[in-house]
Amino acid sequence: MIRPHQLLYGAGAALLVAHPALAQAAEASALAGTDTQRTLLWFVLSTLVLVLMVFLLLFVALVAWMRPQLRKLYDLPTVHDTWSGQVLGLLVGDARLVQGEVRDELLDHNYDGIHEFDNDLPPWWKYGFYATIVFAISYVTYYHVLKTGQLQGAEYAAEMQQAALLIAATPDDPNQLTTYQPLLVPAELSSGKSIFATNCAPCHGASGEGKVGPNLTDEFWLHGGEVNHVYKTIKFGVNGKGMVAWKGKLSGKQILQVASYVLSLQGTKPANAKPPQGEKEAPAKAVAKL
């Protein structure tokens, strides 16, 4: 005899077995629905473009067929000089509405034989100028008076904040600071010194005195002088400052060795040291010296 709890157990087991298949079926159904919607959207847009093109061709054909009648209407004195008449003129080949009237009237002065005509600016230019005035007033009102829209700085900060939320908090996340302690074992610092001499000395000097890169032996830092800030700078680099990212070229342990060695250079005062750059920070925790 099958007991009720056995039936429940069997049903649960069946659901567990069927769950991956149900998930895959749901995912496939969602993808199929998305493809159908995309296809339908392109079909509607294509149909709309086709209908607009047909109407445009019919309109051009109608204007060409009625052009003699439109020309007679345009030549009427009561129509010719009105604004609606100028719009009608565009259909019969008169572009006064856009180009304006050229009077070619000479002004009563000249400069070394150079005469100036008294012609108005083309209407298209004046309409464009008026549009820029309207745009400027709208822009100032929207962004600076009502403060409804975000200015470039605020928009950039918001986008960076959103981007930071999309990055997973992993050891490869440049927004997440590590919690390492400086290495104190002489062997680790010696390894850091070898890596520094091979990769870092060309820019920072053999003794960290600074060349293209900043001086690493004083108390001034551009991107933080605590070991985890130094680790981050070495690993991810600094865009636009010439400091390359050593992520992928050095292991995490090697980067920590270099960062610890850099901190061991504090106060060594090498010859020809580069002037301080950045902000002064309190000396970090005592670290071993080679």
- Name the token pair of 106: 């000479």
Q: Is 290 helix (H, G, I), strand (E, B) or coil?
A: coil
Q: Is 260 buried (19+), middle (13-18) or exposed (0-12) by CB count in 10 A?
A: buried
Token reading at 31: 């993808």
Q: What is the pTM of this model?
A: 0.44
Side-chain-side CA neighbours of residue 179 (13 Å): 1
> By the 8 A CB rule, do 259 and 231 touch?
yes
pLDDT tens digit string along 27-43? 556 556 677 888 888 99
DSSP letters for 208-232: S--SSSPPSSSSEESS--SHHHHHH
CA distance linking residue 26 with residue 189, whole number of Å: 56
* Number of Cβ atoms within 10 Å of the Cβ of 208: 24
pLDDT digits (tens, 9 = 90+) for 79-134: 877 878 778 887 887 777 777 776 667 777 777 878 777 777 888 888 899 999 99
Distances (CA, A) of 100 to 78, 103, 120, 236: 19, 9, 7, 61
Determine contact, residues 235/259, Cβ cutoff 8 Å: no
Query: What are the start-end ranges of the H helices in 196-281?
Result: 201-204, 227-236, 252-264
For the chain, the first-to-last Cα distance in angstroms comes to: 80
Domain segments of the chain: what residues?
1-94, 106-149, 186-280
CA pair distance 215, 221, nearest whole angstrom:
9
Which residue type occupies 208? Answer: G
CATH architecture of the domain 186-280 equals Orthogonal Bundle (1.10)
The angle at the Cα of 103, spanning 98 to 105, to the nearest 5 degrees, equals 145
Per-residue pLDDT 10s for the chain (290 aa) are 455 445 444 544 444 444 445 445 555 565 566 778 888 889 999 999 999 999 999 988 988 888 888 888 888 888 877 878 778 887 887 777 777 776 667 777 777 878 777 777 888 888 899 999 999 999 999 999 998 888 898 889 888 877 766 655 556 777 778 889 999 899 999 999 999 999 999 999 999 999 999 999 999 999 999 999 999 999 999 888 889 999 989 999 999 999 999 999 998 899 889 998 888 887 655 455 55
Q: Residue 145 in 3-state DSSP?
A: helix
